[in-house]
Every structure is written in structure tokens, then in C-alpha cells.
Structure 1
């Protein structure tokens, strides 16, 4: 079986694990660890605080600093309410495409690395190769932040990381940060005919959202003159607003799920400070005038740093050699790359598939993209086999 056939077979197995972020990834992690151990890797599993998920960090070669990390996240987004043409957790091949939830985001890259692991294990010499597979990227990069803390405590400092998110095998060396929040409103229930006798949490949530969206123009005006991003300013998005119990009941609770994608740290502080001031100056006094125990609480789901382009980047240089790409680019979507960069590593994002297919019904990975990824990894193996070349 050649590596492309093996990759497809492994990907089929990975897609069958429904690793939606709300569910456990332990079975898939155990499966991947088995494949890596069969290839001769030393595998460490690090359980999440809740114990239902885990990171996998595997090593081939000497235990030393300066290694190369191949990284991907194991979780996928939900499929509920999406009009799939086939079972999203049964991989199907149609028109030279592999369909299934996670094919491009990002189990295709993971499958390619697992398929290549036996060959890479034979080629590693002086430079260590690591595999880092994380949990809960889709809900705040929680697993990668956990893994970063572990690597710090281990005193292990790899030199570069290749994050295999879907970029159509383009080299990405910069992206915005991703800050995700949930704001919870607690009011006072009552009969809908007497709105002044209660505190309608939904009404206050709507006013909160209105204020948040009102910051868009200020953020647009603050865009750095040389910002490489599209759009070049910090964006905000309200993903969900829920609350209340019935048409004729004053809503006692409400919840707003929202995010921002900062291009600079000051923008994030502007948004959070403005919302806090608005709540303390207007919303909370009005709510508590009726119900002293009314509250507005901000939960931080995740505050993930962006990936900052740098003039010197060994990861960019090496991946350019492996792929033949001479240019790098930036993207608006977020990844775990900034977390690895904060550890002192040179980082790029480069993987098979297009972000245009991610998170949608009938998500797919073109077989040609998977083959390109395998070519990159085969060339990486040749580079690892030649100590003078790494």
C-alpha cells in the first residue's frame, strides 16, 4: 500500500470518530497513539482537566531541543442542522474528493502525518520530530494552551512548528488573534403584562449586542496603515443570542456568544473596556434598581494570540524548500500557531484543503491536495535523513 492509499485508509478511520468538541476524543487519540507507537514513536497522553479528552504528544528521535513539530487538532465542529448529502462520519469518495466532517479541517493533515510516520522514523537522525495532536481547538484552542504549559514544565523547546490547517498548501506566516466570550445576563422573571415588575435579561442582552456592534466603526478606523489582513481591522461577530422561557414571561436569563479577531492588542482592550463601562454605567444600575441580585457576567472561552509575521522564520524557510512555494501570506482565520510562537518557536500554517470547505455541509478534501501534503512530508523525511540539511 503506497502512502496515498494508506493516508486515505487512515483518514477514513479518523472521520469515523465523531470528535465534535462537545464529545470525547479519547478513542481517536488512543488510535493515533497506537499508529505512532507502531512506527517507533514515544507517546505521551495528557488528559484535559475534565478527563474526557486528551492531547497526544509523540516524539521520534533524540530527546533534545530544536525539533520539528507537526501539529493538528483532533476536534471538529458540529454537523447539526447542516444539509449533508451523506453521513458526515462515514468518509465517501466522489469526483476525486474525500467527503466527511473533518476531512480538510483538519484530519486530512493528521492522516498524512500518520501515514508517513514509519518512513519518517527511519529517516530521523539528529533533529527530533514531534507530533502534537490537540483537543478543543474549535472552542478556544484549549488543548494547545494546555500542551504549551506542559512543554514549558518539561523544559522542552522545539525549534519550529508546522500547523496543518487547510491553506491549499500555501505558506501562511500570519493571522489575527481569536478571542471568544460568553456574556450571561441574570434578571428577574415576571408576567409579561407587567414588564416594569421584572428585569428582562433578553432586553439587556440586546442592548449589550447593540453596543458591541456599535464599536465596529471605531475598530475599522483603528486599522494599522500597513495591516496585511483582509479585512485589515479588528472584527467582532455575534454568534448566538439565547434567552427567555415563553412569550408571556419576562425573560429571567439570556446569553450572548460572541468573538473578536484582533489585529493589535489595544483593540481587544478597547472592546472589553467599552463593554465593561457600558454595563457598569447603564445596564447594571437599571437592572439592579428593580432586582438587586441582577448580574452580567463575562466568561472567557479563549483568548488566543495571533501569529505575527517575522523577518526571520526558519519554519517558513524550510516549508518553502519542501513545497517549492516562494511566497507567504496571511489569513483572517485563527489557528493554534500563535500559541506555539509564544513558546519561542518559528511557526507557519500549511496544510491540505481549503478553508472554504471547513465547517460546512459536505466538507471535502481534494485527493490532489492530500497528495501534495504527502510530497511535502516525503521531502521533510529526506531533509531529516541528511543532518547537514536541517
Structure 2
């Protein structure tokens, strides 16, 4: 545990909130892995302000185990911390700092087991992946996918180490998020009925989205493994207007849908677009709603009978579950890699919260799981 805690201390000190660069963390991981004879590939973002990393050790063959983590963390602004967020501090069994649970705890254990694997005669490869911009909609791994596909090959399984309290998550919903740009007509509020208010249009559109949500709840697919067993549509923000006495001619609605594997996201997207057309139809030439995609990631639906699930259960001792939050696992699954989500910490109790922490006991459980995974490669 000493090495993994030393690594975790270094990782927490890197302020990798998604709107900042992660290059210092990537350089640290790159140097760490190269020093242990890993074959390392840096995958820069188009802006060159960020990068992902793929590395492997052992035979240059298919098979083996892929471990995956993201490097970015959510902001601390607006939260009240009683401890320095970018400094690892201890209180009993708890290790505090932004990202300890989501998900630098797993990343630290991933690098620590890489050190151990570098001293073993592996018969199958250990592969590790570090991404960026996961917290803003799995944007980074989406951009990395074209470069990753020929590098990854066909691992026997992939473990994405998001916090599941070391349970084995085999499913989560997919997600698409949008900005709806609403255009109406400006005018003096004294003559408001003569104009088409963009704010009114936006509210009508929100009502239409709520009706779609009601329909999904009543008639959509269901999976009782989830806390919310149906696909959902959520509106998170509306912005419109400049002054009380001006009819607003523009508005913006930010919203998302999260879909079960059984619900076709393209069909949901068409229903959402049709709802926009229905709202603007009574005002030809005077009202418009344009939908702009912000981010998208696929869901995960790994069969409980998949050998990857049984292997991970044997290594972790956890139970099979599904999780409410999204991960990068769906991207790996779409590359035909059997994928599960299993990592230390609790997203519900610790993730994204002030005074985020992870228990040392959870890290020990993760360390033991990864040690068994490496032994599988011998």
C-alpha cells in the first residue's frame, strides 16, 4: 500500500479539473510507466492542452487485461471544504482530497500494480488506459477512440475503475445532452401579445419534454435493476431575457436524456426533434428551435453470464449490480471488449462532494483485486 498511497498523494496534487490541462499528470504517469518498460503511447487532444495515455507490458498479443481510469475531476468552486482539496490528508481510515474516490484512487492502484507487473514474467499483456474530460460527458475517450482501436487489440476483459464499492457493475444507461437554441421576436412588453416570446417557446418546449418523459415512464422499456427503471429526460437550465420590459427574442435550454440499453437513442432523439417542430409550428417564419449536441456516450449492457464478469467476481469478491451514473465502459464495450465497472469508493456517498474521501480499506480491496488480475496473466 505504501507505493499506491505515495502515488495517490502525487495524483491529488495535480489540479486536473476538466477545464484545466492534465498534461502534468500525464507526464508523471508516462515517466512512471516508461521507467518500468511499458510501451507507452500518448494521445494528445486536438487542442494539445490535454492528452490521454495508453500503455502495455508483456507479450504483444491479443488477450490480457485492460485497466481504465480517467484523469480529470469535478470542480471545487461553490463547495465548502474543510480540508485542502488538492492535498491528500488523512483522518483515521479516510484519505481526503478531490478525486480520491472519482477516480484517482483507482488510478493510483492501477499504477502501483503496473509496478508489480513489470517485475513478473507475464504470459499475457497488462494494458492500462488513462483518459481525459470524462466528467464533461466522456468527451476525451470519444476523441481518443480512433487512435485507441488499433492499439487496444482484443483484451480478454476491461475493468473501468469508477467507484462501485468494489461491486461489479455490468450496466448503466447511455446519455445524450443538448443545447436547444430558441429564437422568437423581440418587442416592447406593453405590446407583448403581438410578438412570439422565445421564453414562452422555451417553456412550451420544456413542457413537451416533460410529456415525453411521462410517456417513457408509462410505456417505455423497464429494467428494475436501476433505481429509476426507465429512460429519463432532464432539463437542467433555461436562460432567456435581458430586461423585464423587453419580449425576449432568444432563449437557451440545456437538457439531456439517459436511456436504457433497450431504448433506441436515435428514436428518442427523433421524438425530441419532433417535439421542437410541434412547438414552433404555430408560428411559421417567426419561431425556431435548433438542437445542438453537447456530448454523448453509449450505455453498458454486459451479460451477467459473460466470462469477464465471473473473472472479476472471483478477483474482487463483489456482487453484480448496475449503476445510475455513466462511465467510459460503453465505449470499450463498443470495441467488442468485454467490460465491467469495478472500483473503490462510493459515488453516492463521496463522489463530487466537498471533503471527498476514500477509505483505505476500499483501496486495499482494490489492490487485492488487481493483484489477482495480474496473477491471471502469469
TM-score (norm 1): 0.89
- Ranges of 4+ aligned residues in structure 1 off by more than 6 Å: none
1:244-284 CA deviation, whole Å, 9 max, x = no partner? 33333333432222221111454534532233222223326
Aligned partners of 1:170 and 1:53: how far apart in 2? 31
What's the CA shift for 1:225? 5.5
Match status 1:353 vs 2:345: yes
Instruction: Name the structure 2 match of 1:372.
Output: 365
SS at match of 2:247: coil
Question: Which of 286, 309, 323 in structure 2 is aligned with 1:331?
Answer: 323
The question of whether the paired residues in 1 share the 8 Å contact of 2:302 and 2:338 is answered with: no
Tell me, in whole angstroms, the C-alpha distance in 2 between the residues paired with 1:264 and 1:328.
17
Name the count of aligned residue pairs: 377
Q: Quote the offset at 1:210 in angstroms.
A: 1.6
Contact between 1:212 and 1:271, CA under 8 Å: does it hold in 2? no
1:67 aligns with 2:60: no
Query: Equivalent residue of 1:215, what SS?
Result: helix
Question: In structure 1, what is the equivalent of residue 335 of structure 2?
Answer: 343
Instruction: Output the CA distance in 2 between the equivalents of 1:41 and 1:158.
Output: 16
Take 1:252 and 1:84, find their aligned partners in 2: how far apart are those partners?
41
CA distance in 2, matches of 1:79, 1:237: 24
Distance 1:15 1:200, change over 3 A: farther
Alignment equivalent of 1:313, drawn from 295, 306, 310: 306
Question: 1:50: which partner in 2?
Answer: 47
Residue 338 of structure 1: how far off its partner (Å): 1.1
For the residues of structure 1 that align with 2:304 and 2:94, how far apart are their CA atoms?
37
2:148 alignment counterpart? 151
8 Å CA contact 1:97, 1:366 repeated in 2: yes
Aligned to 2:73: 76
- Give the structure 1 partner of residue 20 of structure 2: 23
CA distance in 1, matches of 2:227, 2:27: 39
Q: Is 2:127 aligned against 1:130?
A: yes
Aligned with 2:200 (options 198, 203, 214): 203
Distance 2:143 2:46 in 1: 9
Q: Pick from 78, 83, 87: which aligns with 1:86? A: 83
Structure-1 residue corresponding to 2:259? 262
Alpha-carbon distance in structure 2 between the residues aligned to 1:12 and 1:195: 59
Under a length normalisation based on structure 2, what TM-score does the superposition of the two structures give? Answer: 0.92
Unaligned runs of 5+ in 2: none
8 Å Cα contact 2:231/2:263 also seen in 1: no
Aligned partner of 1:388 in structure 2 is: none
Deviations 1:324-347 (A, max 9, x none): 33x311112111111111111111
Q: In structure 1, how many angstroms separate the alpha carbons of the residues matched to 2:279 and 2:351?
A: 40
